[in-house]
Amino acid sequence: MNKTDGNHPRQLLVGLDAMEWSLVERWAAAGKLPAFRRLIANGTRSVLASTAEQLPDTIWACTFTGMNPAKLEKYFYVQYDPRTQHLRHVTDDEITRPAFWDYLSEAGVRVGVADAPKFKLSKCINAGGGFQLANWGAHATKTARAAVPSNLLNEVQARFGTHAVGECDAVDDKPRALARLRRNVVTGVKQHGEVFRWLMRERQWDVFFAGFSAPHCIGHHFWHGADESHPRHAEAVAAGIDGAIEEAYRAIDRELGEMIALAGPQAQVMVVSAHGMGPLYHASWNLPEIIDLLGYGGQPPRKREENESRDAKVNPWRILKMTLPGALQYHIKAMLPQAMQDQLLFLWYSAGRQWAGSRAFAVPNNDAVGSIRLAVKGRDKYGLIEPGEEYRRVRDDIAGALYSLTDPVSGRPVIKRVTYVHDEYKGPFANQLPDLTVLWDQSFAWSSLRSPRIGTLRIRGQDSRTGGHSTYGFLLATGPNVAPGALIHGGSIYDIAPTVLETAGVAAPRDLDGRALRLQPAETYA
Ligand SMILES: [Zn+2]
Ligand SMILES: [Zn+2]
């Protein structure tokens, strides 16, 4: 029953939340990340396509389940609900699809899971004699801190304390708060390494997944320090925080190196990042105004001149959120009853706009990707657009208008890709997804946008963070059956679950959206 015979090696899986491949590659080549350098030299690597291009908050759930976002109940923690044409607060607990560790457990494989981001505690991990630690030190994970067996949580807390970071977004960009966050992130990496290696030694496992949250926390708050082209880079240098991301990556490299050594040469190692980090240049908060100007919002479009230039509207609730010290914000929010906390969240994301009477409106999504929903008859509570031809006409018109937005300074387009989400993702929960997602160009700094239809809008920053997700992840694999120095093209985050299952000798369910990646040397295939 146990799958660790000679054909099925033990698997050490390390999740690096939002670790950026371009930085890993650069610092590994410079000799700063020796464990990563060895993984690159001795193993097979792949850049992974990711759902971060459309729905960045789904990346880990898609990785663990091997399924696309339309098969999952949750795409964002504040998400659109067509039944009310309003917002709903959604936790990670609502996702019911099994993760790869559930299939492994059911097949009798002993599997351990620690700090898998944005995923709840498994219901069946005991079946294979496994264990799980959920949300001890994961980033922005909306589920209970819990364990299987349940006393494991107390044991971890007693031995290692609580994770040093906690809610990293409960800070602001004041120098003292950032300095503290940086220290805590580096401490948290060390704690993670110690907890993971303790679990690896003390527990029985055939497959072990461990997630480091640090790249996510450090990347959002310190991106301007690592990116010399960022408008706030000089400020980061003056504050002495330009080395923060490198320090955290080097700390991870040390822990990872020790974990790989502990797993031994016979283990197959897969190190996975499901999306990366880059600068945060976007106008997602301005989509409601843009939709109004295009004539689809609830408000009649104001008459305007093509050469008119003006300040874009701001959401006062976001400005308030940016002004209050982060810890105070979270403190105030925590004292409110849940219903009021939800109302506050909705205000941060929608500025209190009502969508009845609008043909199109902006719905929440992760900062750097904007989202637009159309009000369709029979689908949305206050539907106005006929499905079919009218739907396609409105969708094409909005997409075309967005593609024509340029940065007035450089003349370059500010939008990289508009996705027709319902063409891309298929599944039982497709109905709640936005109709269009808007991937802004993150490759250069811009702060205004212009088009013949809307004139020029000067954007006011409404984010405290300087880092936003990049749209691809990576896989680094090594092991006795893995080709050295090889590169796989065309991998995606959906492929990780089937690859883990195949390596363990467990058949993958047929409705997964990925396929097992061929990590073995080419000559092993007939
Ligand atoms: Zn993030
Ligand atoms: Zn965090």
Q: How confident is the model over 340-344, as a mean pLDDT?
A: 79
Ligand 2 mean position, distance from CA 141 (Å): 9
Ligand 1 mean position, distance from CA 22 (Å): 17
Lowest pLDDT segment from 108-122, 244-258, 309-323, 382-396: 309-323
For residue 470, which of 366, 399, 318 has the smallest C-alpha distance? 366
Q: How many angstroms separate the CA atoms of 68 and 294, rounded?
A: 31
Ligand found nearest the CA of 217 = 2
Ligand 1 mean position, distance from CA 479 (Å): 31
More confident residue, 280 or 319: 280
Q: CB-side exposure of 98: number of CA atoms within 13 Å?
A: 17
**The predicted structure's pLDDT at residue 339:** 79
Ligand 1 mean position, distance from CA 203 (Å): 31
| Residue 157 contacts residue 191 (beta carbons within 8 Å) | no
Ligand found nearest the CA of 215 = 2
Ligand 2 mean position, distance from CA 285 (Å): 22
Ligand 2 mean position, distance from CA 1 (Å): 39
Ligand 2 mean position, distance from CA 357 (Å): 38
User: Predicted confidence band at 3 (pLDDT cuts at 50, 70, 90)?
Assistant: very low
Distances (CA, A) of 21 to 25, 273, 402, 440: 6, 8, 29, 20
Ligand 2 mean position, distance from CA 344 (Å): 21
**The predicted structure's pLDDT at residue 2:** 44
Ligand found nearest the CA of 218 = 2
Ligand 2 mean position, distance from CA 190 (Å): 15
More confident residue, 519 or 312: 519
Ligand 2 mean position, distance from CA 398 (Å): 34
Contacts of 116 (CB under 8 A, 6+ apart): 15, 60, 64, 99, 132, 134, 138, 209, 211
For residue 200, which of 112, 124, 288, 88 has the smallest C-alpha distance? 112
Residue type, 79: Q
Ligand found nearest the CA of 115 = 2
Q: What's the chain's Rg over C-alpha atoms?
A: 23
Lowest pLDDT segment from 236-245, 277-286, 344-353: 344-353
Ligand 1 mean position, distance from CA 514 (Å): 24
473: left (phi over 0), alpha (psi -120 to 50) or beta: beta
| Residue 268 contacts residue 479 (beta carbons within 8 Å) | yes
**The predicted structure's pLDDT at residue 171:** 74
Look at residue 53 and tell me whether its pLDDT is greater than 70: yes
Ligand 1 mean position, distance from CA 220 (Å): 7
For residue 99, which of 140, 139, 143 has the smallest C-alpha distance? 143
User: Predicted confidence band at 303 (pLDDT cuts at 50, 70, 90)?
Assistant: low
Ligand 1 mean position, distance from CA 248 (Å): 16
Q: How confident is the model over 420-439, as a mean pLDDT?
A: 98
More confident residue, 16 or 525: 16
More confident residue, 70 or 127: 70
Ligand 2 mean position, distance from CA 184 (Å): 11
Q: How confident is the model over 252-279, as a mean pLDDT?
A: 98
Q: How many angstroms separate the CA atoms of 8 and 195, rounded?
A: 25
Tokens of residue 121, six digits:
């505690």
Look at residue 290 and tell me whether its pLDDT is greater than 70: yes
Ligand found nearest the CA of 365 = 1
Ligand 2 mean position, distance from CA 41 (Å): 30
Ligand 1 mean position, distance from CA 435 (Å): 22
Largest CA distance in the chain: 73
Lowest pLDDT segment from 9-13, 67-71, 170-174: 170-174
Ligand found nearest the CA of 139 = 2
For residues 198-216, b (16+ Cβ closer than 10 Å) or e, as one string? ebbeeeebbbbbbbbbbbb
Give the residue extent of every domain in the chain: 11-279+468-524, 284-315+351-462
| Residue 192 contacts residue 255 (beta carbons within 8 Å) | yes
Whole-number percent of the chain with pLDDT over 70: 95
Lowest pLDDT segment from 5-14, 324-333, 498-507: 324-333
Ligand 2 mean position, distance from CA 218 (Å): 7
* Cis previous bond, 408, omega within 30: no
Ligand 1 mean position, distance from CA 392 (Å): 32
Look at residue 283 and tell me whether its pLDDT is greater than 90: yes
Ligand found nearest the CA of 274 = 1
Residue 403 host element (H or E): helix 389-403
Look at residue 520 and tell me whether its pLDDT is greater than 70: yes
pLDDT in tens, 345-381: 777 788 778 899 999 999 999 878 999 999 999 999 9
Q: CB-side exposure of 52: number of CA atoms within 13 Å?
A: 25
Q: How far is CA 412 from the centre of its chain?
A: 27
Ligand 1 mean position, distance from CA 468 (Å): 7
Q: How many angstroms separate the CA atoms of 233 and 279, rounded?
A: 11
Ligand 1 mean position, distance from CA 523 (Å): 40
Q: Give me the long-range contacts of 451-454 (CB less than 8 A, separation at least 24).
A: 451/401, 451/404, 451/405, 451/406, 452/306, 452/404, 453/293, 453/294, 453/401, 453/404, 454/290, 454/293, 454/294, 454/304, 454/401, 454/405
Q: How confident is the model over 127-139, as a mean pLDDT?
A: 92
Ligand found nearest the CA of 169 = 2
Strand order in the sheet with 360-362: 360-362, 369-374, 436-440, 415-420
Q: How confident is the model over 264-292, as a mean pLDDT?
A: 95
Q: How many angstroms separate the CA atoms of 202 and 192, rounded?
A: 15
pLDDT in tens, 54-93: 999 999 999 999 999 999 999 999 999 999 999 999 999 9
DSSP-derived secondary structure letter, 200: H
**The predicted structure's pLDDT at residue 495:** 98
Whole-number percent of the chain with pLDDT over 90: 80
**The predicted structure's pLDDT at residue 526:** 44
| Residue 368 contacts residue 440 (beta carbons within 8 Å) | yes
Lowest pLDDT segment from 74-78, 283-287, 302-306: 302-306
Ligand 1 mean position, distance from CA 104 (Å): 29
The 10 Å Cβ neighbour count of residue 109 is: 27
Look at residue 120 and tell me whether its pLDDT is greater than 80: yes
**The predicted structure's pLDDT at residue 164:** 94
Ligand 2 mean position, distance from CA 320 (Å): 21
Ligand found nearest the CA of 366 = 1
SS3 label, residue 24: helix
For residue 253, which of 279, 271, 226 has the smallest C-alpha distance? 271
In SS3 terms, 30-55 reads as CCCCHHHHHHHHHCEEEEEECHHHCC
Ligand 1 mean position, distance from CA 221 (Å): 10
Q: What kind of architecture, by CATH, is found in domain 11-279+468-524? A: 3-Layer(aba) Sandwich (3.40)
Threshold 0.75, pTM exceeds: yes
Ligand 1 mean position, distance from CA 54 (Å): 14
User: Predicted confidence band at 524 (pLDDT cuts at 50, 70, 90)?
Assistant: low
In SS3 terms, 90-131 reads as CCHHHCCCCCHHHHHHHCCCCEEEECCCCCCCCCCHHHHCCE
Mean pLDDT over the full length of the chain: 92
| Residue 503 contacts residue 8 (beta carbons within 8 Å) | yes
For residue 420, which of 401, 392, 448, 445 has the smallest C-alpha distance? 392
